[in-house]
Amino acid sequence: MILHPLPRVPGLTVPAPLLAELTSLHASNRDYHFLSGDFPAPDGIRPEQVADALAEETANPDVEVLPARSDGKLVGVAITLARHPDPADPDPWIGLLMVDAGVQGQGHGRRLASLVEDRLRAAGHTAVRLAVLDGNPGGLAFWTALGYSALGRRKDLQRGRPCTVLRKVLAKRPASGGPAGA
């Protein structure tokens, strides 16, 4: 899997082929979008809606949008936030990790999460947080299986939706060439 970060520029224009792929990816996750309310009509997500959402994300210099490809096909996207608006929160956040519904269950989500964690670790971070919306037991099971622990419950900052906040300590990876301590 390869990540292709979108440039962090205000007014980003996503190339039409990538925008079509990202729209298809979002549309494939209609149940999540019904739960999240991120798009007003999850059965009719349009490219201009996705473009607007991405432009809003990339206008924040602390946000990184990471489309993920496997064998040349867009299989997922992750959105990270280097700094949370709450100054008491020292960790970066994974704001979204979404895998195309047509390829879920094939390990793409785990691989994408691992690559995001590697990027954060390489940037000097020692932990990462995320929030799972209430009503998303599959999301909660996914993240806890990856070693994330619940810190508590609160409402998200964007829409006041109830969620569980999780955190994972980013252990240092062993140097290439052998296991840790070798």
**Per-residue tokens: 31:** 């149940």
What are phi and psi for residue 20, nearest 5 degrees?
-65, -40
pLDDT recorded at residue 175: 63
**pLDDT under 50 in the chain at which residues?**
177-182
Domain boundaries along the sequence of the chain: 2-169
pLDDT of residue 174: 62
Reported pTM: 0.89
Query: How much is the pLDDT for 179?
Result: 46
CATH architecture of 2-169: 3-Layer(aba) Sandwich (3.40)
Q: What is the pLDDT of residue 182?
A: 37
Nearest 5°: phi and psi at 56?
Answer: -65, -45
Query: In this structure, are residues 121 and 170 in contact, taking their beta carbons and an 8 Å threshold?
Result: yes
pLDDT value of position 133: 94
Q: Are 12 and 58 in contact (CB under 8 A)?
A: yes
Q: Which of 46, 26, 25 is nearest to 36 (CA)?
A: 26
